[in-house]
Chains A and B, each alone.
Chain A
Amino acid sequence: ETGVTQTPRHLVMGMTNKKSLKCEQHLGHNAMYWYKQSAKKPLELMFVYSLEERVENNSVPSRFSPECPNSSHLFLHLHTLQPEDSALYLCASSQEPGSIEGSPLHFGNGTRLTVT
């Protein structure tokens, strides 16, 4: 158990579907993140929330829409995705946002998304 729970573990969706990924952290952390992991590529940061406020959006297409209703929950809403969006989507949390202290990231086990 990592302390960060993601659902669903696997998702197959068509390009016209709308779906949501869910993440919940049980660690009392103040920051939450969405990362994308594609084969043979480094982890790509998508969104960062600090105390429920979005602090980073790394030029992510608008077909990905994050939501952070409280410090324990994070969602990623998906609509009209493309096949190249197929990847492992990882949620993470850390005690403090930002880079100064080097707070380790605690990752969930991800949602394996396939867009057909």
Chain B
Amino acid sequence: SQKIEQNSEALNIQEGKTATLTCNYTNYSPAYLQWYRQDPGRGPVFLLLIRENEKEKRKERLKVTFDTTLKQSLFHITASQPADSATYLCALGGDSGGGADGLTFGKGTHLIIQP
């Protein structure tokens, strides 16, 4: 069955450092991958989309890589700030086994940026 794994434990990073979050998948051939941010008591907010033919995507302090050979995406936040503390979700889509919205979500990684 399709499976998505994200860092199961909370990730603690010192302010100013680069935070790197991992999304690994198996039994899946996604056409694209999306990253979302979710704050407590709020719905997820879309951050970035990267397609299977793209190696890297950047947006301000965010960078996403997508390696279809390793079946892995890395999500980087450079110069991290306490305001970046949140849960980050990866979602894969475009596989023929997907549902009508084509998205399969991971459980998310809780990121804590310490001052």
Measuring CB to CB, which residues of chain A are less than 8 angstroms from any residue of chain B? 2, 4, 31, 33, 40-43, 45, 48, 50, 55-56, 58, 90, 92, 94, 97-100, 102, 104-110, 112
Residue B45 CB within 8 A of the other chain: yes
Pairwise interchain contact B107-A109, C-beta atoms closer than 8 A? no
Task: Please judge, given known A-B contacts A4-B43, A42-B4, A42-B107, whether A105 and B101 are in contact too, CB under 8 Å.
Answer: yes
Q: Which of A56, A107, A108 contacts B101, CB < 8 Å?
A: A56
Pairwise interchain contact A50-B100, C-beta atoms closer than 8 A? yes
B43 to chain A, nearest CB (A): 3
In the complex, what distance in Å separates the CA atom of A92 from the CA atom of B102? 14
In the complex, what distance in Å separates the CA atom of A110 from the CA atom of B38? 12
Q: Which of A2, A58, A99 contacts B102, CB < 8 Å?
A: A99
Count B interface residues, CB 8 Å: 29
A5 to chain B, nearest CB (A): 11
Pairwise interchain contact A48-B105, C-beta atoms closer than 8 A? no
In the complex, what distance in Å separates the CA atom of A79 from the CA atom of B104? 28
In the complex, what distance in Å separates the CA atom of A45 from the CA atom of B36? 16
Q: Which residues of B contact A45 (CB under 8 A)?
A: 99, 101, 103
Pairwise interchain contact A99-B105, C-beta atoms closer than 8 A? no
Pairwise interchain contact B100-A102, C-beta atoms closer than 8 A? no
User: Closest residue of chain A to B98, judged by CB?
Assistant: A99
Pairwise interchain contact A97-B100, C-beta atoms closer than 8 A? yes
Q: List 16 A-B contacts (CB under 8 A).
A: A42-B106, A43-B89, A45-B101, A45-B103, A56-B101, A98-B101, A99-B99, A99-B103, A100-B102, A102-B51, A102-B93, A104-B49, A107-B43, A108-B43, A110-B41, A112-B41
In the complex, what distance in Å separates the CA atom of A115 from the CA atom of B87? 25
Pairwise interchain contact A92-B43, C-beta atoms closer than 8 A? yes
Pairwise interchain contact B34-A98, C-beta atoms closer than 8 A? no
User: Closest residue of chain A to B42, judged by CB?
Assistant: A109
User: Closest residue of chain A to B106, judged by CB?
Assistant: A42
In the complex, what distance in Å separates the CA atom of A108 from the CA atom of B99? 21
